Amino acid sequence: MEKNINITLKVWRQKNAREKGRFETYQVKDVSTGSSFLEMMDILNEQLINEGNEPVAFDHDCREGICGMCSLYINGRPHGPDDGVTTCQLHMRKFKDGDTIWIEPWRSAGFPVIKDLIVDRTAFDKIIASGGYVSVNTGGVPDANAIPIPKPDADEAMDAASCIGCGACVAACKNGSAMLFVSAKVSQLALLPQGKVEAARRAKNMVAKMDELGFGNCTNTGACEVECPKGISVAHIARLNREFLKAKVQD
Amino acid sequence: MSSLLSSSIGKKLLMGLSGLFLILFLLIHLAINSLMLVPDGGETFNAAAHFMITNPIIKVTEPLLAIGFLVHIIYGFMLTIQNRKARGKDRYASGNKTSGVTWASQNMLILGITLLAFLILHLAHYWVKIKITGDPLLDPVMVNLAGVETMVDNAYALVNTSFGYLWIVIVYAVAGIGLALHLSHGFWSAFQTVGFSNNIWRKRLTAIGQIYAWFVGLGFSLIAVLQYLFYQG
């Protein structure tokens, strides 16, 4: 049943990358449990603007869980207390009347804070630019039966491709490692014929870029997999290890 | 090769391979230790210990084992320092409420440091005495080696006497549990790191890893406790 709840927010406020941040406490009253978490943030910002204060800066775009833009570390978990959803898909029905909700930005050396809850995730774009694509000309769209691909491979490639690059894996990792992200991007192509051509170069370049940007080393705790809104499996990390080691041995 | 070993995955490969090597070593170590439970005043254990000391294969693998330990320890510290740096200075004020992550997997360094402290004590107890300084307890005894009466060091007396002290037994029993926890994550993690895992093998490896870890860890603990309780005097 929908109802209205009153909540207390502890929100990280930080003017810019250089200045020290702090938590501010806000009260938000009469929030419908049917509203989404980001709608609640909008209500908070309306409130702040009406009071003549600066609204809280946070990332968001599609608000349907496919763009990877929203982030937020809510009450001890990336994307909040629900499983398998992004922050924009989180609803206020997951909270109770009188709750105190902590809202923090992703914390990792690879993701410096730009302002308030927004972090700089261009490191992911740089990793993609280092090899997360197919550069061979595959021509026009071929007939579906022209290159047979085993169903399990196609499924696994699609599962890997569901990574939206939100960075929850890095935010959850005690090592600030980007291995789940990189492994998904390597897997989605390494499993398919068009991607296999450049598999070795891709694995080497993407791992080198990941290391260069200061992401940590994976210790296989599996926290990333638990917090991934798309349920990307750490089995992809084993594949990335295989692809990378194979490429290095071939050199 | 140098670019492989300077990469994150390359360093972890060394961690995984040295870990797998030590996993194999621990099985052999436990097998020899279990001979302490043969109720013949340590004759079987002494014969096995003599074989392990004099065997040419062991002479080659002993330095290899030391390298395995050193690589595992040094890279363990090195990777952790890098990881802490990658994590950054800022901590989450609302803590970490991610469920389903094992305690051992998040505390491998602490468990490792505990094991390192134990290892130093362990080497001082036995390896130093047997290999370097000697000890009156080690005075040679006769054992029957495949029909031949041979003089061998009485390693059993040294071990048996030390397991007569309650504090040593407690330290060994606790170290055994620490080892089990370390291995309960380390076993599957090593296979994952060298690339030998997928969704099916992950389940198998974690199951085998748990069995191996607790069998080996509690095995060492149990031998120390049994020595204290039933093999004194």
Q: Say whether both A155 and A221 belong to one domain.
A: yes
Using a CB-CB distance cutoff of 8 angstroms, which residues of chain A are in contact with residue B93? Answer: 10, 23, 102, 104
Domains belonging to chain B, first-starting first, are: 2-88+101-230 (1.20.1300.10)
Lowest average pLDDT, out of A216-225, B6-15, B46-55, B168-177, goes to: B46-55
- CB contact (8 A) between residue B79 and residue A219: yes
Model pLDDT, residue A147: 87
For residue A220, give the nearest of B87, B91, B189 by CB distance. Answer: B189
- B199 in contact with A, Cβ within 8 Å: yes
Model pLDDT, residue A139: 81
Q: Say whether both A50 and A84 belong to one domain.
A: yes
Spatial distance between the Cα atoms of A238 and B37, rounded to a whole number of angstroms: 41
* Residue B52 CB-density burial (10 A; 0-12 exposed, 13-18 middle, 19+ buried): middle
Model pLDDT, residue B151: 87
* Angstrom distances, CA of residue A96 to CA of A36, A90, A103, B133: 14, 14, 16, 68
| Number of alpha carbons in the 13 Å side-chain half-sphere of residue A83 | 9
Q: Say whether both A95 and A151 belong to one domain.
A: no
Report yes or no on A161 lying in a domain.
yes
| Chain A interface disruption, residue of B9, B77, B105, B106, most A CBs within 10 A | B9
Lowest average pLDDT, out of A126-135, B61-70, B87-96, B132-141, goes to: B132-141
Q: Which residue of A has its CA nearest to B102?
A: A221
Question: In Å, how far is A4's CA from the nearest CA of chain B?
Answer: 24
| Number of alpha carbons in the 13 Å side-chain half-sphere of residue A164 | 21
Judged against a pLDDT cut of 90, whether residue A65 lies above it is answered with yes
Judged against a pLDDT cut of 80, whether residue A138 lies above it is answered with no
Can you give the length of chain B in residues?
Answer: 233
pLDDT > 90 fraction of chain A, expressed in percent and rounded? 93
* Helix, strand or coil, per DSSP, at residue A92: helix
For residue A75, give the nearest of B10, B88, B97 by CB distance. Answer: B97
Q: Which domain holds residue A218?
A: 121-250
Report yes or no on A76 lying in a domain.
yes
Q: Say whether both A126 and A88 belong to one domain.
A: no
Mean pLDDT of chain A: 96
Q: Which tens digit of pLDDT belongs to each residue from A148-200?
A: 999 999 999 999 999 999 999 999 999 999 999 999 999 999 999 989 999 99
Judged against a pLDDT cut of 80, whether residue A249 lies above it is answered with yes
Report yes or no on A110 lying in a domain.
no
pLDDT > 90 fraction of chain B, expressed in percent and rounded? 81
Q: Say whether both A24 and A129 belong to one domain.
A: no
Q: Which residue has the tokens 């935010």?
A: A171
Where are the extended beta strands (E) located within chain B? 141-145, 148-152
Q: Say whether both A156 and A82 belong to one domain.
A: no
Q: Which of A72, A104, A136 is the last residue of a domain?
A: A104
Judged against a pLDDT cut of 60, whether residue B1 lies above it is answered with no
For residue A108, give the nearest of B87, B94, B197 by CB distance. Answer: B87
- CB contact (8 A) between residue A222 and residue B100: yes
Q: Which residue of B has its CA nearest to A109?
A: B88
For range B26-55, the mean pLDDT: 93
- CB contact (8 A) between residue A174 and residue B83: yes
Model pLDDT, residue A217: 97
For range B210-215, the mean pLDDT: 98
Q: Which of A104, A129, A148 is the last residue of a domain?
A: A104
The token pair that represents A44 in the structure block = 């908070």
Q: Which of A104, A132, A154 is the last residue of a domain?
A: A104
Q: Say whether both A93 and A56 belong to one domain.
A: yes
Report yes or no on A113 lying in a domain.
no
Q: Say whether both A138 and A100 belong to one domain.
A: no
Report yes or no on A204 lying in a domain.
yes
Report yes or no on A136 lying in a domain.
yes
Spatial distance between the Cα atoms of B184 and B180, rounded to a whole number of angstroms: 6
Using a CB-CB distance cutoff of 8 angstroms, which residues of chain B are in contact with residue A223? Answer: 98, 101
Task: Count chain A–chain B contacts defined by CB atoms under 8 A.
Answer: 140
Q: Which residue of B has its CA nearest to A113?
A: B90
Model pLDDT, residue B150: 85
For residue A226, give the nearest of B99, B108, B194 by CB distance. Answer: B99
Report yes or no on A234 lying in a domain.
yes
Q: Which residue has the tokens 């994150």?
A: B8
Side chain identity at residue A2, one-letter code: E
Q: Give the strand order in the sheet containing A100-104.
A: A22-32, A4-13, A100-104, A73-74, A77-78
Q: Say whether both A129 and A183 belong to one domain.
A: yes
Q: How confident is the model at residue A144 (pLDDT cuts 50, 70, 90)?
A: confident
CATH number, residue A166: 1.10.1060.10
Model pLDDT, residue B144: 80
Spatial distance between the Cα atoms of A71 and A176, rounded to a whole number of angstroms: 15
Spatial distance between the Cα atoms of A44 and A38, rounded to a whole number of angstroms: 10
Q: Say whether both A89 and A171 belong to one domain.
A: no
Question: In Å, how far is A12's CA from the nearest CA of chain B?
Answer: 10
> What is the count of structural domains for chain A?
2
Model pLDDT, residue B146: 76
Judged against a pLDDT cut of 90, whether residue B170 lies above it is answered with yes
Spatial distance between the Cα atoms of A199 and B31, rounded to a whole number of angstroms: 44
For range A80-86, the mean pLDDT: 97
Using a CB-CB distance cutoff of 8 angstroms, which residues of chain A are in contact with residue B10? Answer: 248
CATH number, residue A71: 3.10.20.30
Q: How confident is the model at residue B2 (pLDDT cuts 50, 70, 90)?
A: low
Q: Say whether both A49 and A80 belong to one domain.
A: yes
Residues 6+ apart with CB under 8 A from A88: A36, A37, A38, A60, A62, A63, A64, A65, A70
Q: Which tens digit of pLDDT belongs to each residue from B56-83?
A: 998 889 999 999 999 999 999 999 999 9
Report yes or no on A116 lying in a domain.
no
Model pLDDT, residue B218: 98
Q: Say whether both A127 and A218 belong to one domain.
A: yes
Predicted-complex ipTM score: 0.92
